[in-house]
């Protein structure tokens, strides 16, 4: 991307200069020449006073194009610092789905005042979308799509495209609806382009149109679009009325978001992808997990405390505690990751779950036996104590089997209880497995104490 970086640097310098000189023409020429994403990068890094100048230099429409490229989490302060009228107009000019995302994060009062000032038609479209629940198809769809009628010709449709094209989110799919606005088919711009002018839409349309329900989970929609390589998918209500479309650029964001959510939870940290501005905000995100784990750790300690007599007689037992607890944690995390990903991709429908548990039991048995045997031999050679080797080996074996099962059963149970299984985060499973492993180890040691002394 060398060519990009250089060009952008030059542009940024020029822009800063023209803002310093309050040279509106030079600024507009250079600014509007950039891609909206780069405009946004520039906009974010400058001083508030310079941003105020920009609000007076650019039309709401020009600013709206740039705003669509600012991350949702960072955008609110900019609207707050704008004049209320100007802010309403910017929101009105943005793609409806993006405007809705922004308003969804704001106070109700604020939203009402924006919508009151805004152009009525735009405000109505936004109000319709504000209802939809987060993370559903409805919440990420846009209402700026092109719909056509079966009876139109290719030529008529091209004329329509020239008119409606500039405002539509995509013109690469045209949706065919009947008189009641019910979806009856789809047509790609590609099909249109390669057809002759007087062909009727009825001859070109594909009635086998894929659609998603407005209440569908956004992750499901992403899966479909990835599998079928769609650039857009129509969204309908229960009577199959066409409500909106979801485009692939929104899906890229969904995939990114869901993946980083799973990743964050495996790491035991809320929201790994928001940049941490300072140590305090970073600590705030991590402390809740750490404190919960601290108390779970104290529970483990008090459980080991029950075996103090065993420990005081055979001190050497304690040196293997981190080994056994660590192995339990690791194997549990592996099983967890497999189960969480499998649930996310819909791999385990109905009977698949029982299969998963069986397979994990088998996997635990194999890994447990292998690791148990290795450790028995190593400890026997190292400590010259066969019984100790067998004790640790057996503990590792039992631990690995149970920890593997726990790692897959817990997310499955959470899934059944309609809790996102990814919430069964890595550290949580690890700590549960710590406790199980310590109980197995000291339980066995106490039972067979005679052999160890």
Supply the DSSP symbol for 179: T
Instruction: Please report whether residue 298 would count as binding its own copies according to CB under 8 A.
Output: yes
Q: How far is Cα 320 from Cα 302, in angstroms, rounded to an integer?
A: 17
Instruction: Please report whether residue 32 would count as binding its own copies according to CB under 8 A.
Output: no
Distance of CA 451 to the CA centre of its chain: 53
The neighbouring-strand residues paired with 142 are: 245
Instruction: Please report whether residue 333 would count as binding its own copies according to CB under 8 A.
Output: yes
Nearest to 161 by CA among 193, 195, 194: 193
**217 phi and psi angles, rounded to 5 deg:** -65, 135
CB 134 → its own copies: shortest distance, Å? Answer: 20
Instruction: Please report whether residue 262 would count as binding its own copies according to CB under 8 A.
Output: yes
Q: Which of 14, 28, 51, 69 binds its own copies (CB under 8 A)?
A: 69
The site that binds its own copies (CB under 8 A) totals a number of residues, namely 121
- In the complex with its own copies, the residue whose CB is nearer, 189 or 412, is 189
The tokens describing 88, both together, are: 């309403």
Q: Which of 53, 130, 248, 444 binds its own copies (CB under 8 A)?
A: 248
Q: How far is Cα 204 from Cα 195, in angstroms, rounded to an integer?
A: 8
Instruction: Please report whether residue 426 would count as binding its own copies according to CB under 8 A.
Output: yes
Residues 102-161 that bind its own copies (CB under 8 A): 158, 161
Q: Which of 117, 357, 361, 444 binds its own copies (CB under 8 A)?
A: 361
CB 213 within 8 A of CB 137: yes
Residues 337-356 that bind its own copies (CB under 8 A): 337-338, 341-342, 345, 347
* End-to-end Cα spacing for the chain: 68
Residues 39-68 that bind its own copies (CB under 8 A): none
Tell me the three state secondary structure of residue 346: coil
Supply the DSSP symbol for 153: B
Find tokens 């994990």 and name the residue.
360
Q: Which of 52, 377, 378, 386 binds its own copies (CB under 8 A)?
A: 378
Instruction: Using the rule CB under 8 A, give the single segment among 44-52, 86-94, 116-124, 212-220 that binds its own copies.
Output: 212-220
Nearest to 340 by CA among 417, 410, 235: 410
Instruction: Please report whether residue 208 would count as binding its own copies according to CB under 8 A.
Output: yes
Nearest to 436 by CA among 345, 276, 285, 327: 327
CB 392 within 8 A of CB 379: yes
Instruction: Using the rule CB under 8 A, give the single segment among 42-50, 97-105, 120-128, 187-195 that binds its own copies.
Output: 187-195
The tokens describing 363, both together, are: 């996997």
Q: Which of 80, 215, 287, 413 binds its own copies (CB under 8 A)?
A: 287
CB 111 → its own copies: shortest distance, Å? Answer: 26
Instruction: Please report whether residue 4 would count as binding its own copies according to CB under 8 A.
Output: yes
Tell how strand 232-236 and strand 212-213 pair up.
Answer: parallel
Q: Which of 62, 216, 243, 399 binds its own copies (CB under 8 A)?
A: 216
- In the complex with its own copies, the residue whose CB is nearer, 115 or 338, is 338
Instruction: Using the rule CB under 8 A, give the single segment among 51-59, 110-118, 368-376, 411-419 that binds its own copies.
Output: 368-376
Instruction: Please report whether residue 72 would count as binding its own copies according to CB under 8 A.
Output: no
Instruction: Please report whether residue 288 would count as binding its own copies according to CB under 8 A.
Output: no
Find tokens 């990743």 and name the residue.
263
Between the alpha carbon of residue 386 and those of residues 254, 380, 390, 394, 453, the distances in Å are: 55, 5, 6, 12, 12
Instruction: Using the rule CB under 8 A, give the single segment among 73-81, 123-131, 267-275, 412-420 that binds its own copies.
Output: 267-275
CB 73 → its own copies: shortest distance, Å? Answer: 14
Residues 388-417 that bind its own copies (CB under 8 A): 396, 400
CB 130 → its own copies: shortest distance, Å? Answer: 23
Tell me the three state secondary structure of residue 243: strand
Q: Which of 53, 117, 130, 267 binds its own copies (CB under 8 A)?
A: 267
CB 50 within 8 A of CB 15: no
Burial label for 343, CB within 10 Å (0-12, 13-18, 19+), is buried
CB 264 → its own copies: shortest distance, Å? Answer: 7
Residues 301-330 that bind its own copies (CB under 8 A): 301-302, 304-305, 308, 311-312, 315-316, 318-327, 329-330
Q: How far is Cα 240 from Cα 178, in angstroms, rounded to an integer?
A: 11
CB 123 → its own copies: shortest distance, Å? Answer: 25
């Amino acid at each position: 991307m060398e060519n990009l970086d250089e060009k952008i640097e030059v542009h940024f310098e020029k822009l800063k200069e023209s803002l310093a000189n309050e040279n509106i023409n030079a600024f507009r020429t250079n600014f509007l020449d950039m891609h909206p994403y780069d405009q946004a990068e520039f906009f974010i890094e400058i001083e508030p006073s310079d941003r105020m100048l920009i609000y007076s230099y650019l039309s709401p429409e020009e600013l709206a194009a740039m705003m669509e490229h600012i991350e949702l989490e960072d955008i609110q302060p900019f609207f707050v610092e704008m004049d209320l009228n100007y802010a309403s107009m910017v929101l009105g000019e943005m793609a409806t789905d993006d405007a809705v995302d922004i308003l969804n994060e704001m106070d109700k009062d604020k939203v009402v005042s924006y919508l009151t000032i805004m152009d009525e038609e735009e405000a109505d479209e936004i109000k319709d979308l504000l209802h939809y629940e987060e993370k559903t198809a409805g919440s990420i769809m846009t209402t700026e799509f092109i719909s056509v009628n079966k009876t139109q010709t290719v030529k008529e449709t091209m004329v329509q495209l020239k008119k409606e094209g500039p405002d539509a989110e995509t013109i690469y799919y045209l949706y065919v609806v009947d008189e009641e606005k019910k979806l009856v088919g789809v047509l790609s711009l590609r099909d249109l382009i390669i057809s002759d002018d007087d062909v009727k839409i009825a001859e070109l349309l594909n009635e086998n149109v894929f659609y998603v329900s407005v209440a569908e989970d956004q992750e499901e929609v992403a899966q479909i679009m990835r599998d079928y390589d769609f650039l857009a998918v129509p969204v309908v209500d229960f009577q199959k009325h066409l409500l909106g479309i979801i485009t692939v650029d929104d899906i890229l964001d969904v995939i990114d978001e869901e993946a980083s959510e799973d990743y964050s939870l495996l790491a035991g940290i809320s929201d790994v992808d928001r940049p941490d501005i300072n140590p305090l905000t970073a600590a705030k995100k991590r402390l809740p997990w750490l404190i919960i784990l601290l108390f779970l750790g104290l529970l483990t300690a008090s459980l080991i405390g029950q075996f103090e007599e065993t420990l005081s007689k055979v001190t050497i037992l304690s040196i293997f505690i981190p080994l056994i607890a660590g192995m339990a944690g690791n194997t549990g995390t592996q099983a967890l990751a497999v189960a969480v990903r499998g649930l996310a991709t819909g791999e385990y429908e109905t009977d698949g779950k029982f299969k998963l548990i069986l397979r994990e039991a088998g996997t635990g048995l194999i890994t447990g036996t292998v690791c148990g045997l290795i450790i028995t031999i190593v400890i026997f050679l190292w400590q010259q104590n066969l019984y100790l080797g067998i004790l640790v080996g057996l503990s590792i074996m039992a631990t690995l089997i149970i920890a593997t099962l726990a790692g897959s059963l817990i997310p499955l149970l959470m899934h059944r209880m309609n809790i996102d299984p990814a919430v069964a985060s890595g550290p949580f499973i690890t700590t549960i497995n710590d406790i199980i492993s310590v109980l197995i180890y000291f339980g066995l040691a106490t039972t067979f104490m005679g052999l160890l002394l």
